[in-house]
Structure 1
Amino acid sequence: MPKSALLVEDNSRIASLHSLQQNCGTLHRCKTADDALPLISIVEAVILFTPLERLSEWQSTIAGMRRLPTLWFCTEARAPKEIDWGYGLDGVLFASMTTVEMQFALKWGLRSFHQRKRWAEEREQLLQRLEERKWIDQAKAVLCEIKGINEAEAYDFLRKQAMNERKRIGDIAASIVKVYQLIHG
């Protein structure tokens, strides 16, 4: 559960905050993005009490300030018919929730955020590895052409060069390809 949370009350104030206050050590409240800015660095989660039509706008605003677990405090009257709340929403809270239900929903939201964050980091690493692989394949082709060697020998050359220069093999490969393109381009 978050030790501190930012409650964004876009249009109106939540009548009953008992369950929410029971589960958040400190609950900071704001109405505008300017009010949220100084608080965003000290909170562990954001709870948006906004109309559905402003939800994506607030999600973008908060994400632009800092990536945090983001939950939507929804009244049953405003519950959407379709499950498309925008991007990065980690959970939904309702005023009718008991303290235990609110606690579970907050924990689930934090868990969802951290899992989504891990997936994004893994995706980024995979994209970097794929990009590195492209450079290595291009560099092997260049080395095969210039040195008249096969792919295995070209890869061994790249690997040894990377070890000698204490650099990543992808960086060595990119350098070779860029120089080749400069000379032959």
Structure 2
Amino acid sequence: MHSLLVIYNSKTKTEPIADSLQCISPEFILRSSGYLVDVSYSEKEALTGIKEADASILHVPVSEIKEWGSLLMKQKTAPVIWWCTDETANLSLAACEDHIMVDGILGPSMQPQEIHWSLHFSAKQCFERQQWLKEREQLLSKIEERKWIDMAKGILSKVKNISESEAYDLLRKQAMNERKRMVDVATSIVKVYQLLQDQTQGGSKS
């Protein structure tokens, strides 16, 4: 990790910065630690800058991390790190939600080696978080597929007066014959059945 993007918002960036404060700004400290640093002051600049950066450093209140993190991750998968200072951490713990998207924390008192290792573990955390999200998405997809298959089994079992085990075998055989995924065949069966049921109910009402 070598190229970093420091992101300010209107609350954490005032112009001009006094000379006495320059030495504790994120960009000054990170550049002094050997990193290439770009700075953005708006959403548009941030979305452009993150394309070339290895990580984003959010110099924003903790309550804004989630919004910024979601925005940046849609543009590029890269570590999102919070720059923690008296200015950005002045809210109560209630402002920190459990699902805030942040991979690490940096601060103005950290030494170059501390910054280096924090960035290293932040990159690792980002990778693991992406793996977890991918696995979660796959699990939810499998649960959704199982729901359609179970519904189709129930319909076939009822319509053909067979056991659910036999209905499953029938569903699998149909999927093989049609060279389709079982969930696609199951979804079609359920939707056609529901359509027929709606038409029947509609006809009986009239």
* TM interval, short-chain normalised: 0.7 to 0.9
Give the Å deviation of 1:31.
1.1
Going from structure 1 to structure 2, the CA distance change for 1:32 and 1:132 (only over 3 Å counts) comes to same
Return the TM-score normalized by structure 2.
0.77
Aligned identity (percent) is 39
Q: Which amino acid aligns with 1:108?
A: F
Instruction: Report the number of matched residues.
Output: 183
Query: Quick one: distance in 2 between partners of 1:96 and 1:156?
Result: 65
Aligned equivalent of 2:79? 69
Contact 1:76 1:94 in 2 (8 A): no
In structure 2, the residue corresponding to 1:138 is in which secondary structure?
helix
Query: What is the 5 A alignment of 1:5-84?
Result: 5-10=4-9, 11-12=13-14, 15-16=23-24, 17=27, 20-21=30-31, 22=33, 24=35, 26-75=36-85, 78-79=88-89, 82=93
Q: What is the aligned partner in structure 1 of residue 141 from structure 2?
A: 128
Q: CA RMSD in A?
A: 2.4
The 5-angstrom pairing of residues 129-144 of structure 1 reads: 129-144=142-157
State which of 156, 161, 171 in structure 1 corresponds to 2:184: 171
Amino acid across the alignment from 1:7:
V
- Relative to the length of structure 1, the TM-score reads 0.85
* CA distance, structure 1, for counterparts of residue 64 and residue 43 of structure 2: 13
Matching of residues 80-119 of structure 1 within 5 Å:
82=93, 85-86=96-97, 87-119=100-132
Q: Distance in 1 between matches of 2:114 and 2:75?
A: 29
After alignment, is 51-60 or 126-135 more displaced? 51-60
Structure index of larger Rg = 2
Gaps spanning 5+ residues in structure 1: where? none
> How many angstroms apart in 2 are the aligned matches of 1:133 and 1:90?
33
Q: CA deviation at 1:65?
A: 3.8
Query: Is the 8 Å Cα contact of residues 61 and 89 (structure 2) preserved in structure 1?
Result: no
